[in-house]
Structure 1
């Protein structure tokens, strides 16, 4: 049974809130806003990735989903090589990565907001998948890794070493 117009708008609103982290979770934007820059390449026991690795991984995965949704010429990335950076970064690249992540998230949100897009229709070049499915995957992915970043931020802010 198809959703009516009101139900569809409510669904779109909730998907956007899930992507941005608003309401139920701390937002990515709040976590990275005052992240201790001296710690972006540090690791802690129990989490195998530095803050830099997490942020860049989130950016790459999100860009991959956008490309998958949007491009009939999509080429699958290699797991895990293409999804994780290698080596440390500097503050400038960290900030560029955050800006790119936020820009790409806005692109995903524009897709969700576009009433001409049927979120439940099969993706033309990948008929076993829907945009709705991909948005849910991204929202879950954002939430999981934002939580890891928050944990790291708390550790690094309490331990100045």
Structure 2
């Protein structure tokens, strides 16, 4: 790995984990209940559960590209959002959270090992580093929405604290 690749890899890993500018993703989700995750607020188009599933969908899509695959893009962005607001039960919620966090771990492992300026086989004009940055920014964007929804429900900060508290 080149020196410049290594220099960018370290902050990219922190961004993927959520350690640059906001709470780490894993700390914002562990205490979610099906009721909290599925709660809807008038005027807000999605629940926390839908956000977690949407984040996992696009993270999977980008990870497939990073692993050399060619994922089938959705016919419409709406397909990346689950129809159900609420998980069926605690198991379904925990599976969605675990899936998202395992994808974050996979993206971090890739960021630590690949040549970041390497182009992607099935994504013309994009590099591995660019797509990893996209995962980090997409997750960060939606994590902010999760934090806001939790605040609106009076469910912030999570155990262990959050910033801002």
Please give the TM-score of this superposition, normalised by the length of structure 2: 0.84
Cα offsets for 1:69-100 (capped at 9, x unmatched): 22344322232233110113122111001101
Check conservation: 1:19, 1:138, Cα contact below 8 A.
yes
What is the deviation of 1:46?
4.1
Comparing 141-150 with 118-127, greater Cα deviation is found at: 118-127
Q: Equivalent residue for 2:144?
A: 147
State the SS of the aligned residue for 1:33.
coil
1:32 corresponds, among 26, 29, 32, to 29
Verify: 1:106 aligned to 2:105, yes or no. Answer: yes
State the SS of the aligned residue for 1:16.
helix
Count of aligned pairs between the two proteins: 153
Cα offsets for 1:19-73 (capped at 9, x unmatched): 1111321122111122344221111234211011001001111001111222344
Verify: 1:97 aligned to 2:96, yes or no. Answer: yes
Unmatched runs of 5 consecutive residues or more in structure 2: 156-165
Q: Equivalent residue for 2:163?
A: none
What is the deviation of 1:105?
1.1
Return the alpha-carbon distance in structure 2 between the equivalents of residues 12 and 141 of structure 1.
Answer: 18
Unmatched runs of 5 consecutive residues or more in structure 1: none
Please give the TM-score of this superposition, normalised by the length of structure 1: 0.86
Decide whether aligned partners of structure 1 residues 157 and 37 sit closer, same or farther in structure 2, where only a CA change above 3 A counts. farther
Q: Equivalent residue for 1:6?
A: 3
Structure 1 residue runs of 4 or more that deviate by more than 4 Å after TM superposition? none
State the SS of the aligned residue for 1:127.
strand
What is the deviation of 1:7?
2.9
CA RMSD of aligned residues (A): 1.8
Return the alpha-carbon distance in structure 2 between the equivalents of residues 141 and 46 of structure 1.
Answer: 22
